[in-house]
Amino acid sequence: MEDQAARPPLVGTSGFAYPEWRPAFYPEGLPQRAFLAHYATRLTACEINATFYRLQAPTTVARWAAEVPEGFRFAAKAHRGLTHGALTAPAGDLGGLLERFVASLAPFGERLGAVLIQMPPRKARDDAALTALARALPQDLPWALDARHPSWADPGVEDLVAGLGGTVCVSEAEGNVPDSLPPGPLGYVRLRAGRYDDDAREGWRELLSREAAARPVLCFAKHEGVAAGDPHAGVGLAEWLVSPGGRGPA
């Protein structure tokens, strides 16, 4: 088994197919079909949003997996039919969507780091529905919960999710650094603030490294509204965090 203590946090952005990142991140003239392979030379993880909108073809997922190195990890956002319907699957009759969704991720193999279960802001806390969904997931599938209705903001939710085999996603939008990440078999962070000052990004680098000494940690910077090359936000921040000692783009 891999020595987790020697493993750094896995850092990237939410998506990779952004032509506007030229030329600070993607070289001018680089075709979009080569974006992921280039991305994987500079970052170590990617959160895939496309899985939220539709089931991906096995050939597409297999191609993504083949274009990144062995240690790279993907996080796949759960299909919206599982999280945004009137009933959270599998309680609703969704024609086996959960099984088909999980099967669609199989070509990732070991490069699948987690599934992000993102609830819509309108969906209030429902422990029974969450428990049913979590128990229907394969036991070896790592997952994180991003529940955005205020009713979920309760320490008891963190313990419930950890007890079900997942972790609560930290979605941070104010430029702050918590003392620790929620309990669970992995850590999952989404950095959504428009800017992280020097102290904040250094604090995040230290926290992510400390947590990654004990369990896998995935961290994704925001992808929209931030110019590439800014080391305080977006893909530039991700580069800074993934670089040894925090030495990313100047």
For the stretch 6-59, pLDDT in tens is 689 999 999 999 999 999 999 999 999 999 999 999 999 999 999 999 999 999
pLDDT per residue as tens digits for the range 137-183: 999 999 999 999 999 999 899 999 999 999 999 999 999 999 999 99
Name the residue type at position 217: V
Other Cβ atoms less than 10 A from the Cβ of 102: the count is 17
pLDDT band at 106 (very low <50, low <70, confident <90, very high): very high
CA distance 125 to 25: 39
Position 109 scores a pLDDT of: 97
**Residues 192 and 172: beta-carbon distance below 8 Å:** yes
Q: Encode burial over 45-65: b for 16+ CB neighbours within 10 A, e otherwise.
A: bbbbbebbeebbeeeebeebb
Average pLDDT over residues 77-90: 77
Question: Residue 146 belongs to a domain with what CATH number?
Answer: 3.20.20.410
Domain region containing 23: 4-246
What's the pLDDT at 250?
41
Q: In what order do the strands lie in the sheet with 170-172?
A: 167-168, 143-147, 112-119, 73-77, 45-48, 10-14, 217-221, 187-191, 170-172
The answer to whether the beta carbons of residues 236 and 24 sit under 8 Å apart is yes
Total domains in the chain come to: 1
pLDDT tens, position by position, 186-237: 999 999 999 999 999 999 999 999 999 999 999 999 988 888 999 999 999 9
